[in-house]
Structure 1
Amino acid sequence: MDTLIVNGSLITGDGITFLERASVRIRGSKIADVTTYQPAANEGERVIDANGSIIIPGIINGHAHGCIEGPSMPSGTAPCSTEDILYQRNRHLMSGTTTLLNVCGLATPDEIGRGELASHALDVQVTTAHTPSSIAAAQVSDGKGLAHHHLTATIDDMISLGARALGEAGGGQTLGGGAQDYRYLPQAIEAATGVAVHPKIARLFKEAVLGRRLDGSGAASSEAIDDLIHHYALENHLTVEGLRRIVVETVMPPVHLAMKGLEEIAVQSHRLRLAAIFHNAAPTASILVRLAETYPRARMIAGHSNHPMFLPDEAVATARLLKERGVTIDVSTLDCIATRWRNGPDNLDALAEADLIDTLSTDYAGGDWDTILSAIQRMISRKQMPAPRAIALATGNVASAIPELAGDRGFIDRNKRADIVICDAHNFAHVRHVIANGRLVVENSRIL
């Protein structure tokens, strides 16, 4: 059995431990030993000298999309192409992710991937959201990727076939979130007017017509909407009533069904005691608080709790209410760290500074997600938390929140699965090496 030794400074994933000088010995797919000194290598043992760098557990991304061959998103959209799936998987792997939970929810476990996808080093698993209202919401909003076996599947069926968790309950397509901003609303506006609008403008239009909670509270007056149309020089293409019609007809049809789907998923989580990922945003916040109170045995994870439909103080207040009720608070990088095409870091920063974050993921952000380690680096450099705690958000904490996905990894400890990342000590977002299941798969920032 081949032995690989990694020497360097070590963060173990428990949120506490940092070892200035350590050695990790890997045999096969497992960590054989961790020492606080660096013994001489035996003949035939390969050594990676990472002194001057940081050794951390492989990142566990508990909320992502776009990495499987089945229906995409909670809307049951047509699957991504194999080329796009490989692109997304390679990006995740090269940024230090070794385990990923694809939470689109309506694919089946056998659609994780075939051929080149099946042999990919990134360990991809799926969730299930096969409840009546969740499926109906997908059919109303899109549903072009749904076949008979998706429509007739049940949660029990999918769990027996290997789905690791429940969800995502609700989504940006079905609950007026980001996918409406970057995809559906721009498409509808362009179809009606011939004018392409930026997703940020689509979001402004959506919130002006419906309010951030989609219930009309906080909606703008007709005069304010007219001013918005003129501000973006669309007065020759849109009227106030025309814009209202487009927004309402595009955003609202699946919302009621998706809201019902939230409770159906909570019921199943309560029954099965499985982790369940929920769409947490301004329209769903109060519902999630109620569900946490009503179904105390449900293992609820509030996904993307830094959602841009929240104001920062709302994100903090909602997270605090949910956390007090036993809900795991997940935040997502979205495109808010480096890209900032549509989203900014204010909500993430507010949650970090309030010490409310349990886990850290990417979500999808139209494929423009920033890396998890870039968010971790931001938290460390802004002194929002020390490095071991920040690393734990995407390693040990995820393993503890979803042991069905990652109970054998997330920590650098004896007998754990050998998923290890080596990154620069001064910038954790710079990944040098990735070891997945005991095999070196990224070396000097190149996929092997």
Structure 2
Amino acid sequence: MDLVIRNGGLITGDGKTFHKRAAVYVRKGRIAGIEVAEAAAGAEIVARETIDAAGGIVMPGLINAHAHGCIRGPSMPSGSKPFEGEDVAYFRNRHVLQGTTTLLNVCGLAMGDEIDVDEAEPHAMDIRISTAHTPKNIEAALVVDGKGLSTRHLSATIDDLLASGAVALGEAGGGQTLGGGAQEYRFIPQAFLHEFGVEVTPAAARRLKNAVLGRYLDPVDGLSNSKLTDELEHCGLSGVTEADRVRDIITQSVMPSVALSLAGFDEIAREAERVGYPAIFHNAAPSAKRLMAVVEKYPKARLVAGHSNHPSFLPDEAVSIAQNLRRKGAIIDVSTLDCIGTRWRNDPSNLDALIDAGCVDTISTDFAGGHWDGILEAIQRMIKKKQLSVAEAVALATGNVARVFIQMAGDRGLIEKGKRADLIVVDHVNLSRVRHVVIAGRIVVRNGRLT
């Protein structure tokens, strides 16, 4: 054997199975077998490397199918300039140390050769890309930003990207193009800084955006100028400018790309049904109605309602929309965002409501301006709150994801013979504490340290 992991508990990723004591055997990057025993399993098997998982739980490596910032191509659905190499390295390492072994970067407009930062030494984590190369999605990116897009990005097609290794479509829409989080932590604050020389916090940007445009990005639902003035005072911005000017700046920042981005939903859904690959959609208050329509129109497509716990929803609304989408055949994904421990801009109320309602299929991180919480932090929360069993919670980030994203993860996500040996060992008391990470049979984190 190349590797044996012994003496730990074992969660297989199927949503049901949790062995109190087992050993996992690995040969040539694949799971060679499993031995379940009440005593110290695997003691007589000789292996090149051994991990003693006593006091821990062995589970499949996490499959994160909605993340950003982990490639060197155009960033986000806005086609912005790539993240700096140091930032990309940091984001990637954070994901691995949080237990992710397979990651889908869903910025959507990068090319197949823009994954690796260091081509001579690819990252240990298996990083894949999605494609949103359709006319309306590209046009929406250019309206918002597009400074990371070159001629080849603009001329590429879905088929081009799938041929070069993309494993999913999307993200259709985004916080930049549909008035979501990126508008609150980046674009609106940038506009205020440029116009008035004042710094606006993401929380203030959200309040002002909702005051002007409403949660559904409908200016008719916005507040009157007197109430907007009150909001400016609440945010510490009274006297900086008039309400009308704030209304103009926010509208000009948010609205130009919205219609284009929503039109891009239809393009992505149609392509997903044609090519048979899953597609990820920005599910939020402004886009839920359009998403519902494309789910109905393209019933044969695998359409994923991304971050269905988006903060633009009220909790009951998030549940109602998710249940309706799920009945129509959509896959319901939730994202940790920053809502578990960080709580920079978001809180867990929508996530809790969706888990309690039993309508979640998968879990991811998204980006949250680079401040996302780990998937295992959310899973630990679900277990402590007794919302799900340990096996059910773990499946949201392992076996369930593998069943949806077959082209990316069909050979992993479960601990069973023949599957790719992507494995993690976590603390049995707090599953968010990752001790060891194995990717394709190779130990890449030992005792919490990148090897």
TM-score, normalising length: structure 1: 0.98
Does 1:348 find its partner at 2:351?
Answer: yes
Tell me, in whole angstroms, the C-alpha distance in 2 between the residues paired with 1:107 and 1:302: 21
With over 3 angstroms needed to count, the CA separation of the structure-2 counterparts of 1:216 and 1:381, relative to structure 1, is: same
With over 3 angstroms needed to count, the CA separation of the structure-2 counterparts of 1:18 and 1:43, relative to structure 1, is: closer
Contact 1:3 1:28 (8 Å CA) reproduced: no
- Report the counterpart of residue 119 of structure 1 in structure 2: 122
Contact 2:79 2:141 (8 Å CA) reproduced: yes
* Match of residue 271, structure 2, among 259, 268, 273: 268
Q: CA deviation at 1:46?
A: 2.9
* Match of residue 391, structure 2, among 388, 393, 399: 388
- Report the counterpart of residue 53 of structure 1 in structure 2: 56
SS at match of 2:113: helix
Contact 2:10 2:19 (8 Å CA) reproduced: yes
SS at match of 1:235: coil
Does 1:221 find its partner at 2:228?
Answer: no
Tell me, in whole angstroms, the C-alpha distance in 2 between the residues paired with 1:119 and 1:326: 37
Structure 1 stretches of at least 4 aligned residues deviating more than 4 Å after TM superposition: none
Tell me, in whole angstroms, the C-alpha distance in 1 between the residues paired with 2:136 and 2:121: 31
Contact 1:7 1:47 (8 Å CA) reproduced: no
Tell me, in whole angstroms, the C-alpha distance in 1 between the residues paired with 2:7 and 2:177: 48
Tell me, in whole angstroms, the C-alpha distance in 1 between the residues paired with 2:115 and 2:144: 23
* Match of residue 316, structure 1, among 316, 319, 329: 319
Tell me, in whole angstroms, the C-alpha distance in 1 between the residues paired with 2:235 and 2:287: 30
The percentage of counterpart residues that share the same residue type is 55
- Report the counterpart of residue 303 of structure 2 in structure 1: 300
Does 1:145 find its partner at 2:167?
Answer: no
* Match of residue 376, structure 1, among 354, 357, 379: 379
- Report the counterpart of residue 170 of structure 1 in structure 2: 173
Does 1:72 find its partner at 2:94?
Answer: no
With over 3 angstroms needed to count, the CA separation of the structure-2 counterparts of 1:193 and 1:405, relative to structure 1, is: same
* Match of residue 188, structure 1, among 187, 191, 206: 191
Counterpart residue identity of residue 205, structure 1: L
Write the deviation string for residues 12-42 of structure 1: whole angstroms up to 9, x where unpaired.
0000000011110011200000111213234
- Residue segments in structure 2 that go unaligned for 5+ positions in a row: none
- Report the counterpart of residue 439 of structure 1 in structure 2: 442
- Report the counterpart of residue 22 of structure 1 in structure 2: 22
- Report the counterpart of residue 236 of structure 1 in structure 2: 239
TM-score, normalising length: structure 2: 0.98
How many residues align structurally?
Answer: 448
Q: CA deviation at 1:48?
A: 1.4
Q: CA deviation at 1:114?
A: 4.2
- Report the counterpart of residue 401 of structure 2 in structure 1: 398
Tell me, in whole angstroms, the C-alpha distance in 2 between the residues paired with 1:13 and 1:43: 26
- Residue segments in structure 1 that go unaligned for 5+ positions in a row: none
Contact 2:130 2:166 (8 Å CA) reproduced: yes
Tell me, in whole angstroms, the C-alpha distance in 2 between the residues paired with 1:255 and 1:117: 40
Write the deviation string for residues 381-420 of structure 1: whole angstroms up to 9, x where unpaired.
0011001000000000000011111000000000100000
Q: CA deviation at 1:116?
A: 6.0
SS at match of 2:256: coil
The CA RMSD over aligned residues, in Å, is 1.1
Correspondence list, 1:8-47, <5 A:
8-37=8-37, 38-47=41-50
* Match of residue 419, structure 1, among 417, 422, 428: 422
